[in-house]
Structure 1
């Protein structure tokens, strides 16, 4: 889906939908408060404050890389949103799997660590242990609360913040703001926007500043070239802004809904647009895995970097130590 513009403001549409938002929020608050089983492995749970675009996937990948550098073997647990087919869950994603079968995020995650797809998080956790993982990172497991977290991190887009502050469908929040903040051990503030900074400053929680950066070699290759950016992610405007910051001439952009399945009409339209502008098509890694291998589009990879990685590493180490000590006792 594409986030409606009224999610940013307290307008008529939001007010008309507010009863439904109140009901959704009450149910979501209950899920956040419920007791859940604990996995045999230390469990880090990631959430996004709103319904898509906060930066959960880059955060999961960045954490997996940090922990792998410390000798850990993280398993990344995901539901495989958008997958088709009847494969028996849970299963580990392999190099030959495609987005249509396992989900685009699952393919992307599997390039960085062991990725396991399954709606039953307890079963996925058990499989991770069988495959010699040393810890779990749950991609978007914050709100479902299927496993008890040893550490809960909440990603916040600093430009978007909490939107209009209402729960779905009246606004973008996946649970009431106070309930989400209370359930988080720390906030990961992504970007330098004032909206997110003000929100984080009002919360009595540790805050870690991060930012999305293009992969240097890819960004350098785009500089000075004429391009057309297209994407089907939570907030396409962030990707288009990153493209402009590479120094490329962005002749046009095309936004699709999050997790969009590109059909022949879409591909024909994009190809015609590129010819019309005499430009190169450029998209995200997440979109690239949903495209036919032969489709002529360049990819601009991005990564998440932390302002104070040592402080975050110290928090991760402390949380993992507590988790292992509690399981040993």
Structure 2
């Protein structure tokens, strides 16, 4: 404003020089007035400038304070941002850790639930096994009583059967030895007779064939002689021919008797085969008797096992407190069931 006032005054001065002399006075007065106004305005402007300067200094001081506070606030803001970033990182870490812990806890919860279900199943199985064991104990008690009865019965029958089988085995052994020796001797005799009969039969067959051939030749010659009476008779007279025929017939009869005897020998050979079959049957009976003895030994071992099992059950019954017999087991099991 001060500079603007000066510029206006200079313009007024230049304008006043160009005006007429009539206006000089007015101009001077105006100039004085303007000058006084100018000085007033200058003083007011200086005062105002001083005020502005003081205000500027105050404002500048305030601005420096504000800037310092701004710097402090910026540093605080940076620190806060760093803390926020750090807190975000820590929050992310804590979230990840919490998520992992939550997953772990959830997995542990699942495992615990599964373990609880498994334990429930095991408990049910244990309960079932205990019930089965109780029922098995009751059945075992009943079985022990039955085994005692069966053991006494088996012991008596075993003794009787053992004695009977031993007697039968001794008898079978003596009979088999005697029959075996007798059958072997008869078989050897029959075999020798059959072999000699076969040889004689073959020889007789050969002789019979030769005799048949001679007889056929004689018959053919006789027929030719009867058909041709004019032909000279042979040197042997007809009487000799009839004697020869009779002799041949006798030989034929003897051969037939020998053949019958050979057939009888063949029949005896069949009886030898029958005796061999009987010998095999005797051997089979002997093997069966030995097998019965083995079965008897197995039965004896089973009886021993049953006796051992019975003694074991008796020992177990004695070890159970408050149980003295098999009937007490049922009462004990009933008491346990009530307790459960």
Q: What TM-score do you get using the length of structure 2 for normalisation?
A: 0.18
The structure with the greater share of residues assigned to helix is 2
Q: Whose relative contact order is higher, 1 or 2, with alpha carbons under 8 Å and at least 6 apart?
A: 2
> Hey, which of these two has a bigger chunk of strand by percent?
1
TM-score by length of 1: 0.18
